[in-house]
Homo-oligomer: A and B are copies of this chain.
Amino acid sequence: MSEVVNLAEKFAGFSEHWAPRIVARYNDNDIRIVKVEGEFVWHSHPETDDFFLVLEGVLDIELRDRIVTLRPDEIFVVPRGVEHRPVARQGEVKLIVIEPTGTPNTGDAATATQVEAL
């Protein structure tokens, strides 16, 4: 049965960067939390939009033609197929991402971070 997910408790349970944890499932999507710092890789997801909600810190999402800056309580959805690179330039960022279950976080199973359930 579904249980309450307390995000502060879940974030306290790990410290690795760019290593998402699944904290809930909604239909066929993972609700993932992640801590990030520094640069990720350029990638895209051909089959799915990419949902970001920043909870703490400042996250740049670089697109090929602009940079979108997200502060706490801001959402951005990268449309499917759009190349992007998340970069946390100002220290650690905590965020929620939502992706269909099984989606590799780099857009490529060969390079993706293993996603663990918490």
Contact = CB atoms under 8 A, between A and B. Distances in A.
B77 A26 contact: yes
A27 interface: yes
Nearest to A31: B75
Contacts of A55: 73
Interface string A1-25: 1111111100000000000000111
Interface residues of A, number: 35
Contacts of A76: 2-5
Interface string A81-113: 000000000000000101010000000000000
Interface of A: 1-8, 23-27, 29, 31, 48-49, 51, 53, 55, 68-71, 73-80, 96, 98, 100
